[in-house]
Amino acid sequence: MSEHIAVIETAGVIEIHIDRPDKKNALTADMYRAMTAALADASARAEIGAVLVAGRGDAFCAGNDLKDFMAGPEGGGAAFDFIHAIAAFDKPIVAAVQGLAVGVGTTMLFHCDLVYAAPDARFVMPFVNLGIVPEAGSSLLAPAIMGHAKAAAMLLLGEPMDAESADRAGFVTAIVPVAALLDHARAKAAALMAKPPQALAATRRLMKGDPALLNARIEEEARLFRETLTSPEAQEAFAAFFEKRPPIFKRG
């Protein structure tokens, strides 16, 4: 397990806390593996009825730790394993989001059933800006949830979405004051635990729809993600990011 992922079990709920606040909870390969293991444990145990995901500090998750991610294939492999795990997870997931939710910090939320956001939550999917494509099925789920126009602003322009806009778009369940956010999410996870489990699971499966469609999109995104990651555009975008300068992209 990663030192930056805290797993807490309370009354049938497993809480996964991203605990790297000094780096805005940016994710490393070890952190991805720890979260994937926690989901596997929660799925395998009948007494676990729900999972709660939260970030410690003033941010939910700043996405991939780019230095770790670019260091070799290990980071990418761990990230895609986590994406598959959360997309296929068979029990309800509640998320408590404050501050920045960037990249996978936003796309993982498409696989959560209840998303509670603090007023300062800010959702960003800057994949195109980095010369790459979206992941976690977000190219399918974002337009389905919030409509093509709002999804295009996020995925094509890389524009952030604030909590109020996310609430209006149907992306978050409710906005909750930051001081009450975690307790509110815990109360909702406890409420899920009180429901009849078989009916709850069946209803969730019906709401999710055909998993084959989502899996196919996740695989297509992953293939294109790996291809674009080595493209001249991505190399320039990442270089510009680390050098803190505007990127220059060639046309033609």
**pLDDT tens-digit map of 6-37:** 999 999 999 999 999 999 999 999 999 999 99
**pLDDT tens-digit map of 145-154:** 999 999 999 9
Contact predicate 31/2, CB 8 Å: yes
Tell me whether residue 152 is in a domain: yes
At 107 the three-state DSSP class reads: helix
Total count of domains within the chain: 1
Q: Is the dihedral of CA 77, 93, 104, 88 positive or negative?
A: positive
What is the pLDDT confidence band of residue 41, given thresholds at 50, 70 and 90? very high
Tell me whether residue 203 is in a domain: no
Tell me whether residue 206 is in a domain: no
Range of the domain at 169: 5-179
Instruction: Kindly tell me if the per-residue pLDDT of 74 is higher than 80.
Output: no
Closest CA to 174 of 109, 105, 117: 117
CA 133 to chain CA centroid, Å, is 15
Tell me whether residue 21 is in a domain: yes
**What pLDDT is attached to residue 1?**
62
- Name the E strands within the chain: 5-10, 13-18, 50-55, 93-97, 100-102, 114-117, 122-124, 161-162, 174-175
Tell me whether residue 227 is in a domain: no
CA dist 244 and 239 (Å) reads 8
DSSP state of 4: T
Residue 19, exposed/middle/buried by CB under 10 A (0-12, 13-18, 19+)?
middle
What is the mean predicted confidence (pLDDT) over 179-200?
97
Tell me whether residue 190 is in a domain: no
Tell me whether residue 84 is in a domain: yes
CA dist 101 and 132 (Å) reads 18
Tell me whether residue 237 is in a domain: no
Q: By percentage, how much of the chain surpasses pLDDT 70?
A: 96
**What pLDDT is attached to residue 33?**
96
pTM to 2 decimal places: 0.95
What is the mean predicted confidence (pLDDT) over 202-229?
95
Query: What CATH number did the domain enclosing 73 receive?
Result: 3.90.226.10
